Structure 1
Amino acid sequence: MTEPLRLSKRMSELGLCSRREADEWIARGWVRVDGKVVSELGSKVLPSQKITVERQAAAEQSKRVTVLINKPVGYVSGQAEDGYKPAVTLVSPENRWADDPSPERFHPTQLRSLVPAGRLDIDSVGLLVLTQDGRIAKQLIGEDTSIEKEYLVRVQYTKPGRLPDAELRKLNHGLWMDGKPLLPAKVSWQNDDQLRFVLKEGKKRQIRRMCDMVGLKVIGLKRVRIGRVKLGDLPPGQWRYLRPDEQF
């Protein structure tokens, strides 16, 4: 017999919402299992049972915004630390990109629970996603995400000559980190001092650590794409809304 699962976990697995949203909806009486309202947190269901949500939940979810920022150096992705500001402080009417095609109007409530879906360290720049939508967060940073992230990385070889081809092959596949093999990556030269990295995982400071292992020092790192969404012409320090027709 199949084991029962927590209702919130099952809703997240089905892609209906994040676990946090699920708990909120259950508490509000917006979730039905086999047609019956279930409002007790921690309730369990069998995988065969049918879960439906009320229209209010879908309406609430559709109001949640996702924002793309071109993060400059000196901002942290998440919580403020060591006197550095979090990237969310850039989301203000003054910093909105003048060419943002979205008809969405800015409202301060959009800053509520607007959290980073993935991170860029303080010295890195480029595309950072902040979202109120648990489905997008799960898609980008969930355990089983397979969404590509593309980076342009300016490097300096710390040994004489050029980086040997064998070391470049190691960057593509063959390095270990934190006791585990890294997933295959796509790493190629863009020009004499710049590499293009395409990764499907995002360990802390992963690219800097990978480069370090083969004798490369990272001079600059910029994320230019997440899935099918590109940084494009968005200027540094500015932001825009994710358009309804854009999918990661």
Structure 2
Amino acid sequence: MAWTRRYDAPEPQRVNKWLAQSGVCSRREAEALIADGLVSIDGETVTDAGRKILPGQTLTLADRAAQALAGFTAVLNKPVGYVSGQPEPGHTPAVRLLTRSNLVGTGEAPASNASLPPLGRLDEDSRGLLILSDDGVLAKAIIGPESDLDKEYVVRVAGQVDERKLARLRHGLELDGRKLKPAKVTVVEGATLRFVLKEGRKRQIRRMCDLVGLRVVDLLRVRIGPLKLGDLPEGRWRLLTADEREAMIRASIPSGPKTAPSPPRRT
């Protein structure tokens, strides 16, 4: 399925710059796609790297362009006991689970020596949704400094849960001398809490709970932005779809106030 989008900004913009700002690819990658004849505007193939797209025009990337940019991305339900990234001796990396026998759906398993960094780490003693990918654009969308994606966790704790502790978890804690961003923390049932965060400090939820006198017994990540863990069995994986990738990239763009166009200059 080809990638296509209408350009609705008020002023013309260079194609490579707009694709980069939209999180589709870097400017250099956009120029390479244009050189390969894989970019078109309103059905006309773009041949000039300096071409500008006009308001109301629609840009389309050929299927081959979208496939080249996407790279390899696995969606894994990580069990406890596996580390997300490069392990220390005696620990097993989650990438080892990406075998043909563990695959759900169609596709091919990556090579045994493939470099697939985690896009958002998950502790060895935590479980749930983990994305492993060599897709640089997707990495920027999920863990880049300007990403607006949130992450959702279901956490079972030991200790007395009360409103005072919940209020502190939501707003008012510091880690490593830095104030945390506001968190959404609600009670699911009994001692099971739901956390929604927009940052990912090291072992953040466990350390937050420690600060209010709670101990994490089980931590399950169920969502990253619009991507949900769903019913993927523990220890199994599947390929990220093109539509899911597009949704993640779009959702990562901050939705701040729009800048009004500049008034016309006097002549």
Distance 2:161 2:110 in 1: 49
Does residue 68 of structure 1 match 2:66? no
Match of 1:163 in 2: 161
Partners of 2:107 and 2:239 within 8 A in 1: no
Query: Cα–Cα, structure 1 residues 142 and 10, in superposed 2: closer, same or farther, change >3 Å?
Result: farther
Alignment identity in percent? 50
Match of 1:147 in 2: 149
The within-5 A match list for 1:1-248 is 15-17=23-25, 22=28, 35=48, 58-62=66-70, 64-97=71-104, 100=105, 104-109=106-111, 112-157=114-159, 162-246=160-244, 247-248=247-248
Normalised by the size of structure 2, how large is the TM-score?
0.69
Runs of 4+ that moved beyond 4 A: 9-14, 34-37, 54-59
Q: Report how many aligned residue pairs link the two structures.
A: 217
> CA offsets per residue over residues 52-87 of structure 1, 9 Å max, x none?
xx977655224x221110101111001121311111
Distance 1:108 1:219 in 2: 33
Which runs of no fewer than 5 residues in structure 2 stay unpaired?
1-16, 37-46, 54-60, 249-267
Query: Cα–Cα, structure 1 residues 192 and 88, in superposed 2: closer, same or farther, change >3 Å?
Result: same
Alpha-carbon shift at residue 199 of structure 1 (Å): 0.5
Distance 1:113 1:67 in 2: 12
Q: Report the 3-state secondary structure (helix = DSSP H, G, I; strand = E; otherwise coil) of the residue aligned with 1:234.
A: coil
Q: Which amino acid aligns with 2:155?
A: V
Q: Report the 3-state secondary structure (helix = DSSP H, G, I; strand = E; otherwise coil) of the residue aligned with 1:88.
A: helix
* Range with bigger deviation, 9-18 or 192-201: 9-18
Alpha-carbon shift at residue 50 of structure 1 (Å): 6.7
Q: Report the 3-state secondary structure (helix = DSSP H, G, I; strand = E; otherwise coil) of the residue aligned with 1:116.
A: coil
Q: Which amino acid aligns with 1:81?
A: E
> CA offsets per residue over residues 26-67 of structure 1, 9 Å max, x none?
7xx87xxx9469xxxxxxxxxxx979xx977655224x2211
Alpha-carbon shift at residue 195 of structure 1 (Å): 0.6
Q: Which amino acid aligns with 1:226?
A: I
Give the superposed CA RMSD.
3.3
> CA offsets per residue over residues 137-177 of structure 1, 9 Å max, x none?
111100011111110111011xxxx3331221111111111
Alpha-carbon shift at residue 110 of structure 1 (Å): 9.3
Partners of 1:18 and 1:138 within 8 A in 2: no
Q: Which amino acid aligns with 1:105?
A: G
Q: Report the 3-state secondary structure (helix = DSSP H, G, I; strand = E; otherwise coil) of the residue aligned with 2:96.
A: helix
Query: Cα–Cα, structure 1 residues 164 and 108, in superposed 2: closer, same or farther, change >3 Å?
Result: closer
Distance 2:151 2:188 in 1: 16
Alpha-carbon shift at residue 10 of structure 1 (Å): 10
Query: Cα–Cα, structure 1 residues 186 and 108, in superposed 2: closer, same or farther, change >3 Å?
Result: closer
Partners of 2:120 and 2:130 within 8 A in 1: yes
Distance 1:14 1:245 in 2: 15
